[in-house]
A and B are shown apart, each in its own frame.
Chain A
């Protein structure tokens, strides 16, 4: 594993389990134990019923591209341009900002089915990236 130059997430007590799950290659999403509403990013309270009883649910990590951009302008030297950033909507209804891999700007479209791909970037941090479903695995 080469040294990771990109910014790493500053993890808080409210988000620790999310990142620990990723390290085990599990995508965990918070769900309210009282009303069943999913939420992401991880936080202490359900926005639907204000309950603080949250549970972590291991999800399949499948969803669709909700919106996407191709970043051409260099903002951070560790991100070679161009690169794809997307908002992916999971089957559970929550959305997250991520990168799309194993695809190209010519192929991406809103509604494209995608699944999670666990990118181990350091010993401690694994990022949830997404790739098109049924395109085979990266780095065979």
Chain B
């Protein structure tokens, strides 16, 4: 079960500025993040020999051409939406430990505000979602279109089964905003309160505007190399101790799930912990895919930071804020930093382990957990150590 443990490490990280008006194309944004990650690793673009591109719009060819990669040995696209960034660490570790390639570039991002918006149901959105044909036939005719509706359906059920409250959802939004305010590269800088959350307009009852992540422009990238090689690169490596993917039953049709309140991360996280040989209580900081507030609560339970159903009380009282028992999304997350499909969570975890997280630094952080959540509940988890 520990086949990939400590075989690979994140050697380089790169981000663009996060904004609502990048002024450049999607491809240009991705390339900017990519070259920054490559440079951060102390490599040249010619040394990249494998690419895991984003799940839509920019194939590996785009990177190979622009970066001038002479010998691309492997490319794989992971079509699991927001779970893909963290899952790409597993694919990268497999690629490296098998000897197929040496330096893997993983990159995600989008012009999510200035480009095609989620509510516009644009072509990028259509191309992203693998289950779109089923949605068109069995969901769209009933006005069930977009993520806030899917997760409202799951949140309602979670409230019914476990007594989770909107105030508890609000605690997640407030914590992410506090962290974003500490971050120079975060979009949302205005403090919010539980009352602001309760007063924000209803999107899909029970989820309100402040339960929703941002639509933003930006991209982020990491370079994964072998643990041995990473030791000699520019920065202290973040070793991939454990990693896993997991899928719910009936991954493509929400209604047919045995449970609406458990997601793929429930299967992904135990694999990652078993590989790493640690338990949730060993984690110093967690960067949890926060497309909506409820998803954070659900994942905190499914990862095992608390029992199923106790995620609501868990996020209250500052427990997930800096200084709390489990600081979550120290960069501000998708809710308040930017939505770049979760690669920003990996970048932040690496900063925490390098000790370069600035005002949001968790003192002596040694172990970080990063999660991904995509396509209505596919999950991925990675445990990184310094």
Q: Which residues of A contact B (CB under 8 A)?
A: 6-12, 15, 39-41, 66-73, 75-76, 79, 82-83, 85, 87, 94-99, 105, 110, 125, 127, 129
**Contact (A79, B143) CB under 8 Å given A10-B137, A41-B137:** yes
Cα(A140)–Cα(B191), bound, Å: 52
B190 within 8 A of A: no
Quick check: A67 and B153 within 8 Å, CB to CB? yes
How would you classify the secondary structure of chain B's contact residues: helix, strand, loop or mixed? helix
Quick check: B143 and A76 within 8 Å, CB to CB? yes
Cα(A5)–Cα(B386), bound, Å: 56
Quick check: B142 and A97 within 8 Å, CB to CB? yes
Among B25-33, B253-261, B328-336, the stretch that binds chain A is B253-261
Tally of A-B Cβ pairs under 8 angstroms:
106
Quick check: B144 and A67 within 8 Å, CB to CB? no
Residue pairs across A and B with Cβ atoms less than 8 A apart, 6 shown, are A9-B138, A10-B133, A75-B119, A79-B143, A97-B255, A125-B141
Which B253-301 residues have C-beta < 8 A from chain A? 253-256, 260
Cα(A72)–Cα(B152), bound, Å: 12
Cα(A39)–Cα(B140), bound, Å: 20
B contact residues around A69 at 8 Å (CB): 149, 152-153, 156, 204-206
Extra contacts, 8 of them, besides A72-B203, A72-B204 (Cβ < 8 A), are A9-B138, A70-B204, A71-B205, A73-B203, A76-B140, A94-B256, A96-B255, A110-B157
Cα(A69)–Cα(B138), bound, Å: 17
Cα(A121)–Cα(B188), bound, Å: 43
Cα(A130)–Cα(B153), bound, Å: 17
Cα(A97)–Cα(B136), bound, Å: 12
Quick check: B201 and A72 within 8 Å, CB to CB? yes
Contact of A96 among B138, B140, B149 (CB under 8 A): B138
Which B119-150 residues have C-beta < 8 A from chain A? 119, 121, 133-134, 136-146, 148-149
Cα(A98)–Cα(B201), bound, Å: 24
**Contact (A99, B119) CB under 8 Å given A10-B136, A68-B156, A110-B157:** no
**Contact (A9, B143) CB under 8 Å given A67-B153, A110-B157:** no
Q: Which residues of B contact A (CB under 8 A)?
A: 119, 121, 133-134, 136-146, 148-149, 152-154, 156-157, 160, 201-206, 253-256, 260
A contact residues around B133 at 8 Å (CB): 10, 12
B contact residues around A83 at 8 Å (CB): 143
Cα(A70)–Cα(B143), bound, Å: 11
**Contact (A85, B142) CB under 8 Å given A10-B133, A73-B148:** yes
Cα(A140)–Cα(B144), bound, Å: 28
A contact residues around B255 at 8 Å (CB): 40, 66, 87, 95-97
Contact of B149 among A6, A8, A71, A98 (CB under 8 A): A71
Which residue of chain B is the closest to A94 with respect to CB atoms?
Answer: B256
Cα(A45)–Cα(B138), bound, Å: 18
B contact residues around A40 at 8 Å (CB): 255-256
Quick check: B143 and A99 within 8 Å, CB to CB? yes
Quick check: A41 and B205 within 8 Å, CB to CB? no
Which residue of chain A is the closest to B203 with respect to CB atoms?
Answer: A73
**Contact (A97, B139) CB under 8 Å given A71-B204, A72-B202:** yes
The distance from the CB of A28 to the nearest CB of chain B, in whole angstroms, is 14
Cα(A95)–Cα(B201), bound, Å: 30
A contact residues around B156 at 8 Å (CB): 67-69, 110
Contact of B260 among A7, A67, A85, A125 (CB under 8 A): A67
